[in-house]
Amino acid sequence: MSPTAQDAHDRPGVYSQDGTEYRRDTRYITTRITADGRDGYPVEPGRYRLVVARACPWANRAIIVRRLLGLEPVLSMGVCGPTHDERSWTFDLDPGGVDPVLGIPRIRDAYLARFPDYPRGITVPAIVDVPTGQVVTNDFAQLTLDLSTEWTAHHRAGAPDLYPEHLRDEIDEVADVVYRDVNNGVYRCGFAGDQESYDAAFHRLFDRLDRLSERLASRRYLVGDTITEADVRLFTTLVRFDAVYHGHFKCNRSTLAAMPVLWAYARDLFQTPGFGDTVDFVHIKRHYYEVHRDLNPRGIVPLGPDLSGWWAPHAREQLGGRPFGDGTPPGPVAPGEEVPAEHTAPRPA
């Protein structure tokens, strides 16, 4: 079985030849925005626009990193709606369905402005060059690393070092297994083409979650004693786990809330400024349950789970660690970028 146009867009991947195992297409636009502009795109305040969808875990990473580093004044953000058609994500949250900065109704237009015959999935996050209206990159893994390392001249005072040089090898190693077995592992379960492929993906996912639980039982963060890129990458899957992956993707050995270490770790991050305040559970659930009609033909969006537990005490501070190292928490969410209160976990009275 080959993926439909909507399949290829929504989950930029392909199936193996026998149609049973989901494999992600990782051929992204690898152009980079750098301090020296060596790819033709120098770091410049106000020149670029980060296009995201709050529903998407890969885009959620970029939203978190941009906020933690305080790049809002120099890198604007366009937010697509939670669903899309067969062509691409759309700016249906904006007046008239048009992005107010780029002047386009869908992110596909920015891709085609640079590559008229672009053959692959139209994905978020993407960074667009505002003067030309052309996409620069959709390489989500490199994108956040570049925000940390190439945009340093524009970081806020007190910005954390999410990719410290002396820990990069370990961060890369941890991030790689998190990507293969967890970030992409939930998709392998959800889109498995037969029982054998699903079983293998299921065991691989929960084996890795068990190992991560062991790692985090005695340390507050994945690498070192501060929040790093590795934590951002794991968080965006964990925060979606009970809301969509447990049921929709059949990742149902246990809920996140039934895995004590990971649940406390995820709550610790959620309650940290820059993490939970970027999460829109309404968009997350609408996207997965409404768009994946092959998995959920009637498009019914479940009312659960109860989200109030996200604000329960976690006691992770007893393990030590300093969330922002020598830095400070980010300030309030930028005006106009707030997640509606009714879309996130309710705070206790």
On whether both 219 and 282 belong to a single domain, the answer is yes
80 is catalytic: no
Asked if the structure places residue 218 within a domain, the reply is yes
Asked if the structure places residue 26 within a domain, the reply is yes
Asked if the structure places residue 14 within a domain, the reply is yes
Name the domain boundary from 154, 188, 222.
154
Please tell me the predicted confidence (pLDDT) of residue 15: 45
On whether both 213 and 321 belong to a single domain, the answer is yes
Mean pLDDT of the chain: 94
Alpha helix stretches (DSSP H) within the chain: 5-10, 57-69, 108-114, 140-149, 168-178, 185-190, 195-216, 229-240, 246-248, 260-270, 281-291
- Greatest Cα pair distance in the chain: 54
Cα separation, 134 vs 114, in Å, equals 5
How large is the average pLDDT for residues 202-227?
98
Does residue 151 have a known ligand-binding role? no
pLDDT at residue 85 tops 90: no
Please tell me the predicted confidence (pLDDT) of residue 349: 78
Please tell me the predicted confidence (pLDDT) of residue 3: 29
Residue of 85 and 119 predicted with greater confidence: 119
How large is the average pLDDT for residues 142-153?
98
Cα separation, 137 vs 75, in Å, equals 14
Name the domain boundary from 127, 154, 181.
154
Distances (CA, A) of 14 to 21, 112, 185, 203: 9, 22, 14, 21
Other C-beta atoms closer than 10 Å to the C-beta of 31 total 19
Residue range of the domain that includes 284: 168-332
On whether both 184 and 287 belong to a single domain, the answer is yes
How large is the average pLDDT for residues 306-328?
97
How large is the average pLDDT for residues 204-223?
98
On whether both 185 and 142 belong to a single domain, the answer is no
Asked if the structure places residue 337 within a domain, the reply is no
Please tell me the predicted confidence (pLDDT) of residue 295: 96
CATH number at residue 281: 1.20.1050.10
On whether both 32 and 89 belong to a single domain, the answer is yes
**Structural domain count, the chain:** 2
Please tell me the predicted confidence (pLDDT) of residue 86: 83
On whether both 39 and 96 belong to a single domain, the answer is yes
DSSP at 243: I
Choosing from 22, 56, 198, 245, the catalytic residue is 56
Name the domain boundary from 115, 131, 154.
154
Choosing from 22, 41, 111, 187, the catalytic residue is 187
pLDDT tens for 23-73 read: 666 789 999 999 999 999 999 999 999 999 999 999 999 999 999 999 999
CATH number at residue 135: 3.40.30.10
Tell me the whole-structure pTM to 2 decimals: 0.94
On whether both 208 and 315 belong to a single domain, the answer is yes
Please tell me the predicted confidence (pLDDT) of residue 8: 37
Other C-beta atoms closer than 10 Å to the C-beta of 133 total 17
Asked if the structure places residue 344 within a domain, the reply is no
Please tell me the predicted confidence (pLDDT) of residue 187: 97
Is residue 211 helix, strand or coil? helix
Asked if the structure places residue 281 within a domain, the reply is yes
Asked if the structure places residue 252 within a domain, the reply is yes
Please tell me the predicted confidence (pLDDT) of residue 248: 98
Alpha helix stretches (DSSP H) within 140-259: 140-149, 168-178, 185-190, 195-216, 229-240, 246-248
On whether both 98 and 29 belong to a single domain, the answer is yes
On whether both 135 and 203 belong to a single domain, the answer is no
Percentage of residues in the chain with pLDDT exceeding 90?
90
Please tell me the predicted confidence (pLDDT) of residue 348: 85
Please tell me the predicted confidence (pLDDT) of residue 14: 44
DSSP at 301: P
Tokens 């990193």 belong to: 65
Please tell me the predicted confidence (pLDDT) of residue 190: 97
Asked if the structure places residue 159 within a domain, the reply is no
pLDDT at residue 4 tops 70: no
pLDDT at residue 179 tops 90: yes
Please tell me the predicted confidence (pLDDT) of residue 107: 97
pLDDT confidence tier of residue 18, bands split at 50, 70 and 90:
low
On whether both 79 and 219 belong to a single domain, the answer is no
Peptide bond connecting 125 to the previous residue in cis, omega within 30 degrees of 0: yes
On whether both 144 and 183 belong to a single domain, the answer is no
Strand-strand pairing, 48-53 and 126-129: antiparallel
Question: Among candidates 140, 84, 142, which has minimal Cα distance to 108?
Answer: 84
On whether both 175 and 323 belong to a single domain, the answer is yes
pLDDT at residue 10 tops 80: no
